[in-house]
Amino acid sequence: MTGSRNWKKRWLPNQHGAWAMLVVPFVVGALTRQRATGLPLWWIPLAVLWIVGYCLFAQTVTWIKTPARRRAGLRTPILTYLAVCAASGLAILALHGLCLAVWLVGFVPLVVVALALVRNHEERSVTSGMTTVAAACLMFYVLRCGGWPPLAPGLHDGLTGLLLYGYFAGTVLHVKSLIRERNDPAAARNSVLWHAAWFAAAVVLCGPWLGTGSPWWIVFFAVALARTTAMKRLQDNGLPFRPGTLGVVEIVLSAAAIACGLT
């Protein structure tokens, strides 16, 4: 049992909530691209690169935070992930050339900022969370728009990526207000204000006035706002929420986000 735990610690990221953030924008981007023009084969090695690349990033973060004398156990996972990422990159290059490399203009600064925050012991900060969410949601546009010249996503699909960012960034604030910053009234207030602002944006952008997105986003953000308000009130009244409970709620909302992104 101990060996199993050690293996997981060495090889698998311990940020369980990150998986929905990784998967949902990728899936919605792929399915909207399929609907628009058909999905090219390079999405398969890109999926491997995306998931394994996240594992590489997470283990790099662990490497930075680990004292030098204890880093030896991380070397094999990091080198393995590097090799898989390199192979995936070569497969993308063979299928699509260098066209997708244009997106590095967006990803590289976000990764640099995220690692700099780790160096400054701020990996749990709101800024760090918003940065990683931005990288995750940028992948939606990689799938939807492809390489160079990019395929224009149109107003509907272009807005979908932004709304996904609104949801996942709000989740960062929501979880912090219930776990690490549960005793800070400002954290709860920021979470409610963020969700209220995105609900208002959804009403304007997806309502009858502009109609550039699915009206289901209005319902979605209304539910997200109600969830963060109600759960914080319940917690203040003595009902604690475990991370697992929060995870179940976010799995349901993530599935709903996929549905909204495809309508």
Taking the CA atoms of 103, 105, 106 and 108 in sequence, report the sign of the dihedral they define: positive
Whole-number pLDDT of residue 4: 52
* Lookup: tokens for 260: 């909204």
Q: How many Å apart are CA 122 and CA 72, to the nearest integer?
A: 24
Whole-number pLDDT of residue 6: 61
pLDDT tens, residue order, the chain (263 aa): 455 556 666 677 777 678 899 999 999 999 999 999 999 999 999 999 999 999 999 999 989 988 888 888 888 999 999 999 999 999 999 999 899 999 999 999 999 999 999 999 898 899 999 999 999 999 999 999 998 888 999 999 999 999 999 999 999 999 999 998 888 999 999 999 999 999 999 999 998 888 888 999 999 999 999 999 999 999 999 888 888 889 899 999 999 999 999 98
Pair 261, 144: CB distance under 8 Å:
no
Please list, in sequence order, all residues whose beta carbon lies within 8 angstroms of the beta carbon of residue 60, skipping any fewer than 6 positions away: 78, 115
pTM: 0.93
Whole-number pLDDT of residue 1: 47
One DSSP character per residue, 27-72 reads HHHHHHHHHHT---TTHHHHHHHHHHHHHHHHHHHHHHHS-GGG-H
Whole-number pLDDT of residue 14: 72
* Lookup: tokens for 228: 């963060």
